[in-house]
Amino acid sequence: MAFRGFGGFATSGLIGAAILWSFATTDVELSRLMSAGPRIADFVGRMFPPDPTVMAEIKKGSAETLRIAILGTLGAVILSVPLGILASETMVSPAVFRSIRTLLAFIRAIPLILVAMLMVGAVGLGPLPGIIAVAFHATGMLAKFYAEAIDGVSRAPIAALESAGAGPLVRLRYAIWPQMAPVVARDTIFRFELNLRESLILGIVGAGGIGFYIQTYVRSFQYDKAASVTIAVVVMVIAIEAINVALRRRFT
């Protein structure tokens, strides 16, 4: 008990020290924040009223963003199914699942924007590099979720099939999948929502989507048009989130 109490005290001390160190070594000045208020107000003032003449661009960019998110999520699911199985300690040997989990951690560590920039350089501008970047980046998380879903199921049905001589794929199909299906559906829907949010900014590096128009209008000082696109993005995110909440309730 004493050791646990000391451990909690030490952890709290480390967190407090990290916060104090961050404040002490960061150039955070209240005066700078106060002086930024008028500039922010001026910037926001230039955005109103929003310009409704960019509706065609909004529709085109929104559709492209949605396609990037859908196809990127599909690609991630296709890649994550075998990788999730290979990353599960229930299905494979320790040497295999540890290697695959290391690979997935490496994928998650690479920023999405960096992947998108590399893909733009490799395949050119447009939605294709965005789709590849989203699929690659999402696989690192989604395969990990799938592996954890496999490892989190009850062992009794697996042991029963194993004692009857069933192979790994049979155990996966009849003992593991019925238990993990709701978790997989929930995690996949959550990842799609995250992919959509990330797809909104890929246009900044030329990887397609509605973010391209935000970048274009802001750089050309057409803030009223940027405001219209921003409002469309907010509406899209709220709508997708509402749909995803309904779907998660359906599958859980």
Decide if 217 contacts 229 (C-beta within 8 A): yes
- The better pLDDT of the pair 200, 128 is held by 128
- Asked if the model's pLDDT at residue 8 lies above 90, the reply is no
Q: How far apart are CA 141 and CA 149, in angstroms?
A: 12
Q: What is the pLDDT of residue 30?
A: 67
- Asked if the model's pLDDT at residue 1 lies above 70, the reply is no
Express each pLDDT in 97-131 by its tens digit: 899 999 999 999 988 888 888 888 888 877 888 89
- Asked if the model's pLDDT at residue 80 lies above 80, the reply is yes
- Asked if the model's pLDDT at residue 3 lies above 60, the reply is no
Q: How far apart are CA 147 and CA 140, in angstroms?
A: 11
Express each pLDDT in 146-176 by its tens digit: 998 888 877 777 777 777 777 777 877 777 7
SS3 content of the chain, % helix, strand, coil (to 5): 85, 0, 15
Structure confidence at residue 212 as a pLDDT band (50, 70, 90): confident
Average pLDDT over residues 218-243: 83
Kindly report which listed range (62-71, 173-182, 188-197) carries the lowest average pLDDT score: 173-182
